[in-house]
């Protein structure tokens, strides 16, 4: 990336070193054993990377959106699982608390989340509502001055280890999106239970699980933002989260590219190194071009976020392209390895599996297309009205 500030270059340098020295050497073992990267997360907390989106005044690193994306990308080159754990804590938990929380909520959670003493998760998806996020069954009913919550959330990344959840629940189900509110739920509240962590195709070390709420009693101070604003809070939060997932996808694709590129310099076929075969060179040219295009979209989304106002379309376009690019690049990278790519002896198969989720979580590619088209139609309508 051209023209980074001194601070951006410093953060990126630290993330790259951490990825090379502390993540890449253990990523295959973490994946094989589905081990939670506890020691690695402690190291990342020391660098301030658990609180990149938290303002310095609230105990965080206060990174700008581009620095944040660059760090997530760099971490994902080392370990895709670790990158998403960090991304969820930052984008989906710290950021909405910093943006919509009261002073008391910020003081209670941000310094601890930013320093890795606590971990957060985000509860939107339910067993019967994923893409149609507004139509949730989990409900929060008034209970004296507080709230009583019942329902369940699934595929909750960080769920098995989290101390707090940003939870979306229907406070007036008949109102659809306008009847959704956001809550901060301590995971040790009576009535909260977690299932065993999910078994998945990839990102094995990033544990997720189903979390159930059985008449969980919360005080009035658990409400995050205003009643009925929860859906907008969730959507605005996901705008930011999607930049993080796009960056994660680029990191995974870059790791796959690097592994295949190195392999092509040593593997011979038909009497010469495969790097000299035009068929292989074309694959690398396409991969490198797509990687660069995805980086530019992420940088543009990050700068739209930095400018302020809505950046929904930019974030969706970055995630849409970067995640589908990662699927294509990891597919080609595996192909460069031939049969060895299919073996767990090399990292190509792990990158291929890890990339796939980026097209699904924090909004599927189909939802990204709907969001982009919806914003284009809205812009066109407002232009024709003026």
Binding part of the chain for ligand CAA, among 56-64, 121-129, 189-197, 250-258 by CB under 6 A, reads 121-129
Strand partners, 269: 272
Positions in 5-24 near ligand CAA (CB under 6 A): none
What is the distance between the alpha carbons of residues 319 and 139, in angstroms, rounded to a whole number? 30
From start to end of 171-286, where are the E strands? 180-186, 192-194, 208-218, 223-224, 268-269, 272-273
- Could you say which residues in the range 250-309 bind ligand CAA, by CB under 6 A? none
Instruction: Report the DSSP pairing between strands 164-170 and 120-123.
Output: parallel
Q: Tell me how far CA of residue 12 lies from CA of 34, 39, 63, 253, 294, in angstroms.
A: 27, 20, 11, 18, 18
- Count residues near ligand CAA (CB under 6 A): 25
CB-neighbour burial class of residue 234 (10 A; exposed 0-12, middle 13-18, buried 19+)? buried
**Considering only residues 247, 259, 304, 367, which one is a binding residue for ligand CAA as defined by CB under 6 A?**
367
- Among 73, 126, 324, 362, which one carries the catalytic annotation? 362
Query: Residue 101 CB, nearest distance to ligand CAA (Å)?
Result: 17
Largest CA distance in the chain: 79
Least Å from the CB of residue 364 to ligand CAA = 7
Cβ density class 190-226: b for 16+ within 10 Å, e for less: eebebeebbeeebbbbbbbbbbbbeebebeeebbbbe
Can you tell me which of 236, 253, 283, 320 binds ligand CAA, judged by CB under 6 A? 236
Stretch 305-344 residues interacting with ligand CAA (CB under 6 A): 312
State which residue, 88 or 299, has the beta carbon closest to ligand CAA: 88
> According to the binding rule CB under 6 A, does residue 187 interact with ligand CAA?
no
Q: Give the interface segment with ligand CAA, choosing from 69-77, 100-108, 234-242, 271-279 (CB under 6 A).
A: 234-242
Q: Does the protein bind ligand CAA through residue 232 (CB under 6 A)? A: yes
In the block, residue with structure tokens 């990292």: 347
The tokens describing 226, both together, are 């205003």
Quick one: 106 or 305, whose CB is closer to ligand CAA? 305
User: Which of the residues 45 through 104 are near ligand CAA (CB under 6 A)?
Assistant: 88, 92
Shortest distance, CB of residue 123 to ligand CAA, whole angstroms?
9
Which residues touch 178 (CB under 8 Å, ≥6 apart)? 172, 228, 231
Q: Cβ contacts of residue 209 below 8 Å, gap of 6+? A: 154, 156, 159, 160, 194, 195, 196, 197, 198
User: Which of 124, 256, 291, 318: binder of ligand CAA (CB under 6 A)?
Assistant: 124
CB of 178 to ligand CAA, least distance (A): 7
Rg (the chain; Cα; Å): 21
Is 314 catalytic? The answer is no
Distance CA 165, CA 194 (A): 12
- Name which of 99 and 267 has its Cβ closer to ligand CAA: 99
Least Å distance, CB 65 to ligand CAA, is: 15
- The minimum distance between CB 19 and ligand CAA, in angstroms, equals 20
Site for ligand CAA in 138-167 (CB under 6 A): 155-157
Residue 131 touching ligand CAA (CB under 6 A): yes
Active site residues: 362
Question: Residues in the site for ligand CAA, rule: CB under 6 A?
Answer: 88, 92, 122, 124-125, 131, 133-134, 155-157, 177, 231-232, 235-236, 238-239, 312, 361-363, 367, 370-371
């Amino acid at each position: 990336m051209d023209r980074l500030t001194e601070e951006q270059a410093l953060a990126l340098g630290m993330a790259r070193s951490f990825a090379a020295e502390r993540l890449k050497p253990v990523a295959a073992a973490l994946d094989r054993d589905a081990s939670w990267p506890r020691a690695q997360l402690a190291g990342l907390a020391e660098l301030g990377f658990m609180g990149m989106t938290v303002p310095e005044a609230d105990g965080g690193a206060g990174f700008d959106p581009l620095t944040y994306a660059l760090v997530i990308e760099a971490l994902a080159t080392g370990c895709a699982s670790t990158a998403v754990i960090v991304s969820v804590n930052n984008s989906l938990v710290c950021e909405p608390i910093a943006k919509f929380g009261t002073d008391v909520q910020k003081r209670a959670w941000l310094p601890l989340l930013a320093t890795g003493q606590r971990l957060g998760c985000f509860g939107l998806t339910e067993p019967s509502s994923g893409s149609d996020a507004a139509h949730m069954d989990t409900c929060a009913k008034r209970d004296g001055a507080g709230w009583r919550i019942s329902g369940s959330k699934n595929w909750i990344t960080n769920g098995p280890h989290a101390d707090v959840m940003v939870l979306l629940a229907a406070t007036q189900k008949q109102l659809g999106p306008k009847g959704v509110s956001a809550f901060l739920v301590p995971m040790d509240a009576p009535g909260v239970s977690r299932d065993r962590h999910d078994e998945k195709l990839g990102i094995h070390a990033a544990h997720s699980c189903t979390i159930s709420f059985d008449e969980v009693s919360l005080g009035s101070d658990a409400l995050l933002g205003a009643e009925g604003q929860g859906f907008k809070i969730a959507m605005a939060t996901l705008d930011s989260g999607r930049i993080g997932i796009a960056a994660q996808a680029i990191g995974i694709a870059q790791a796959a590219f690097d592994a295949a590129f190195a392999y092509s310099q040593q593997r011979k076929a038909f009497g010469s190194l495969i790097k000299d075969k035009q068929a292989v060179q074309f694959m690398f040219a396409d991969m490198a071009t797509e990687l660069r295009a995805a980086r530019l979209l992420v940088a543009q989304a990050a700068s739209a976020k930095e400018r302020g106002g809505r950046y929904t379309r930019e974030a969706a376009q970055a995630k849409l392209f970067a995640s589908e690019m990662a699927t294509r690049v990891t597919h080609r990278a595996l192909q460069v390895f031939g049969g060895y790519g299919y073996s767990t002896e090399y990292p190509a198969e792990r990158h291929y599996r890890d990339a796939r989720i980026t097209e699904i979580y924090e909004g599927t590619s189909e939802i990204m297309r709907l969001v982009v088209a919806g914003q284009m139609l809205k812009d066109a309508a407002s232009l024709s009205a003026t």
